[in-house]
Amino acid sequence: MRRILIIDDEEDIREVAALSLEATAGWEIVTASSGADGILAAGNSKPVPDAILMDVMMPEMDGPTTFRMMQQNPELAGIPVILLTAKVQGVDQRRFADLGVAAVLFKPFNPLTLADQICEKLGWKD
C-alpha cells in the first residue's frame, strides 16, 4: 500500500485531500500542517512516504523552501514531491518548473480524480 504525506496549513484541505486519496485509491495518508512538521513527519515515517503532496503558500516555511531543505537531506531527497497550489498564473508555474519538483497540481482539485492525477504524474500503474 502506498503512503502519501500531505503538507498543508489549511486543516480543511488536509482533511478533504486525505479523505479523497483514502476513499478513491485506498492509500495510507500522513499529514503535517507546516513545512517544518512535514520534514519531521517524512523523516519519522517508516518506511518513508512514496510521495509528498505539498502546498506552496504556507506561513514561516513555504513549499519551495521546504522542498529545497528536503533535497539537502539524503534520506528525503529521493521522495517525489508534488506541489498542490492555488497559484495558477503563468509566472508562478514557470517558477515551480525551475524548482525541480516532480509535478504541480492545481487547486481546487477534483477529489474523485486527484489520486489518478498523482499516478499519472509519477508514472505509477496502480
Write out the residues near another protein by the rule CB under 8 A. 10, 12-13, 16-17, 19-20, 23-24, 57, 86-90, 92, 107-112
Least gap, CB of 119 to another protein (angstroms): 17
Q: CB nearer to another protein: give 107 or 121.
A: 107
d(CA 94, CA 117): 20
Query: What Å distances lie between residue 72 and 25, 34, 85, CA to CA?
Result: 31, 18, 23
Q: CB nearer to another protein: give 6 or 70.
A: 6
Least gap, CB of 74 to another protein (angstroms): 33
* Diameter over CA atoms, the chain: 37
Q: CB nearer to another protein: give 43 or 106.
A: 106
Q: Do residues 106 and 92 touch, judged by C-beta distance below 8 A?
A: no
